[in-house]
Structures are given as structure tokens and as C-alpha cells.
């Protein structure tokens, strides 16, 4: 279940209106529903079930060409439990201070612009599990100049008030970006992220690495850290375009010193995705994961999704 889903949908709705329902010149509505069947076999036991993995709905209100008001709601469900009750996922206002995205000022409840987390898999990359952060009070300034894009931001967290910055360079064929965050997982530990992609014909290669830039100490994160640790996560992926919006993805993920955070040590797998009818698509994914204790599991996930 992709928690960055609403951020992606919002960005898509703002930049590609044809993929959202344009109720009027001043209102666009967008959302997605993901149904999943999962089966897990391995050292941690056998398990299977179905779930409404994601239910998301959002709206962009445009009073004029200078301001956007964005709200979105999110519900997430695992195979046997509700992981995220229905809640307001993001609610923020954007002032387009300069035209053509040269300068946008955004404030409100939103995900911090740290990490790209790009993937064609069904499962989230471990870089997202390590570093995705959503806070209620965020102020961000972002802009573009040709192929260069950058943002700086500040926020009020529960444990630490902090700041961050990102800069990137993108073309139709390649991209590279660097992120800095002063407060990983709302702590006093800063983090750095690197990401890049390149398109070679029908093959797209993706890579991202996120790491704490100093160690957590035993007792940090409300006592969940038991020994000093400097967690990191790496995501590598190759996507193959089979035409007609059909995609095969191969991914490998690894973490280091992230056992206390509850992340697996490694996983690799493959996914196939294709459209079924209009805005409905289907995907099948097979993942093999390994824990820090050496336990290995195989997980098969079938997904049916509808997006507008």
C-alpha cells in the first residue's frame, strides 16, 4: 500500500488535468481504489487474505490562477487489520507566486518533499518505509528553472522542529536528485537521500539510497532503538515497457542497521502490470524477503486498481 499515493495523484492532477475529473474550471476531483489478494509462505508462517488496500479521494479547488487549495483523504487496510483509518491525508494551500512553476509557496498538512520513492512494483520501496514523513505544519518554497527544480522547507514536528532541501535535474530521458532532511522519522537525526533514473529505449533504470547521516542512540524513537544504529535503505529497479501500458518490473531492496525500525534486511521480486478496462488496471507481484534473523518468506500479491 503506497502512502505516497495521494501526493502522486495530487501532482498528476495539477500537471495533467485530463487524468482527473474536472467538475468545473475551479474544481478537480481525483482518487483511487486498490483491492488486493495476498498469500505469504515461509519461515514466518503461512498466511493469505484479501483487503481494500487503498481507498483515496482528493480535490483541488482553484479560486483563481494564483491559488490552489488541496485536500485528500486516505484509508489503508492490510490483510487482517486496518493500517490507516479514514483520515485527512493532506490539506494544504499553494500560492503560485511566479508563473510556470517558477516559484510556488505551499503551507499546511503534507508529506515532506524528501525522497522520490518511484516504483512500478506493488510493494513500497524500503526507502519509503524508512524516510517518508507527513506533518501537520509544513511551509515549502519550490521552483523550476528549465530542467532544474529545487525546494526548501521548514516544519514543526512532535519531537523536533526542522528543515530540509532538495535539488534535482530532469529531462525526458534521465533524472538525478539530492535530498536533505534535518529530522529523520521526526527525530534529531538528519538524513540524506540520493535518487536517479535513466531511460534506455524501452527500459527504465531507477535507483535510490536513503541514509541517516549520524547514528541513533539506544533509547531513541520512544525506546524502539535498542543499540546505536545508522539505518539506511537502497532501492534498485528495472522497468520494461511492453507497449500498450504493460510493464514488467524487477526490484531489489536492502537495508542496513534497520532491524529496530522493523524493516526487512532484503527483498527482491518482480511485478507485471497492465490495463484491463478504461481506468481499471491489474498487477501481479512475487516478492522474496529476508529478515535480520535470517527468516525467508515468499509473498504473492494480486492487485486490481481503479484511478481517476
Q: Which pLDDT band holds residue 44 (cuts at 50, 70, 90)?
A: confident
Q: For residue 2, is pLDDT > 70?
A: no
* Tens digits of residue pLDDT in 110-143: 999 999 999 999 999 999 999 999 999 999 999 9
Contact in structure between 267 and 287 (CB atoms under 8 Å): yes
Q: How many percent of the chain have pLDDT more than 70? A: 94
Q: Which pLDDT band holds residue 17 (cuts at 50, 70, 90)?
A: very low
Contact in structure between 60 and 70 (CB atoms under 8 Å): yes
In this prediction, residue 24 carries a pLDDT of 76
Using the structure block, give the residue that is written with the C-alpha cell 487503498: 54
Indicate the SS3 state at residue 31.
Answer: strand
Cα–Cα dist 269/262, whole Å: 20
**DSSP codes, 205-247:** EEEEEEEESS-B-TTTTTTT--S-B--EEEEEEEEEE-STT-E
In this prediction, residue 11 carries a pLDDT of 53
* Tens digits of residue pLDDT in 178-201: 999 999 998 999 999 999 999 999
* Tens digits of residue pLDDT in 257-290: 999 999 999 999 999 999 999 899 999 999 999 9
In this prediction, residue 140 carries a pLDDT of 98
Q: For residue 3, is pLDDT > 90?
A: no
- Largest interatomic CA distance in the chain: 57
Q: How many percent of the chain have pLDDT more than 90? A: 85
**For residue 11, what is the enclosing H or E element?**
helix 5-15
In this structure, the strands spanning 103-111 and 134-145 are antiparallel
CATH value of 5-307 in 3.40.50.2000, 3.30.479.20, 1.10.3210.10, 2.40.160.10? 2.40.160.10
Indicate the SS3 state at residue 169.
Answer: strand
| Cα 74 versus chain centre, distance | 14
In this prediction, residue 149 carries a pLDDT of 98
For the chain, give the mean pLDDT: 92
For residue 123, give the nearest of 245, 3, 248, 278 by alpha carbon. 3
In this prediction, residue 15 carries a pLDDT of 44
Domain definitions of the chain by residue range? 5-307
Q: For residue 19, is pLDDT > 60?
A: no
What pTM, to 2 d.p., does this model score? 0.90
In this prediction, residue 271 carries a pLDDT of 98
Amino acid at each position: 500500500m503506497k502512502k505516497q499515493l495521494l501526493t502522486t495523484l495530487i501532482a498528476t492532477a495539477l500537471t495533467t488535468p485530463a487524468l482527473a475529473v474536472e467538475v468545473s474550471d475551479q474544481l478537480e476531483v481525483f482518487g483511487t481504489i486498490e483491492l488486493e489478494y495476498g498469500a505469504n509462505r515461509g519461515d514466518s508462517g503461512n498466511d493469505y487474505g484479501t483487503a481494500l488496500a487503498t481507498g483515496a479521494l482528493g480535490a483541488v479547488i482553484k479560486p483563481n490562477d494564483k491559488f490552489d487549495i488541496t485536500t485528500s483523504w486516505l484509508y489503508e487496510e492490510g490483510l487482517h487489520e486496518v493500517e490507516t483509518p479514514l483520515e485527512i491525508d493532506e490539506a494544504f494551500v499553494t500560492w503560485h507566486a511566479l508563473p510556470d512553476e517558477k516559484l510556488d509557496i505551499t503551507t499546511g498538512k503534507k508529506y515532506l518533499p524528501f525522497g522520490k520513492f518511484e516504483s512500478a512494483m506493488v510493494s513500497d520501496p524500503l526507502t519509503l518505509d524508512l524516510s517518508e514523513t507527513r506533518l501537520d505544519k509544513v511551509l515549502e518554497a519550490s521552483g523550476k528553472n528549465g530542467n532544474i527544480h529545487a525546494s526548501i522547507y521548514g516544519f514543526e514536528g512532535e519531537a523536533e522542529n526542522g528543515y530540509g532541501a532538495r535539488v534535482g535535474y530532469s529531462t525526458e530521458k534521465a533524472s538525478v536528485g539530492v535530498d536533505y532532511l534535518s529530522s529523520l522519522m521526526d527525530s534529531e537525526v538528519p538524513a540524506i537521500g540520493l535518487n536517479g533514473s535513466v531511460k534506455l529505449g524501452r527500459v527504465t533504470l531507477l535507483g535510490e539510497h536513503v541514509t541517516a547521516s549520524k547514528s541513533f542512540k539506544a533509547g531513541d524513537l520512544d525506546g524502539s532503538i535498542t543499540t546505536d544504529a545508522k539505518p539506511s535503505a537502497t532501492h534498485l529497479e528495472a522497468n520494461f515497457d511492453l507497449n500498450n501500458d504493460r510493464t514488467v518490473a524487477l526490484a531489489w531492496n536492502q537495508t542496513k542497521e534497520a532491524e529496530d525500525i522493523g524493516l526487512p534486511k532484503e527483498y527482491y521480486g518482480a511485478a507485471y502490470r497492465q490495463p484491463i478496462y478504461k481506468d481499471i488496471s491489474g498487477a501481479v507481484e512475487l516478492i522474496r524477503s529476508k529478515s535480520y534473523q535470517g527468516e525467508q518468506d515468499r509473498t504473492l500479491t494480486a492487485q486490481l486498481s481503479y484511478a481517476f
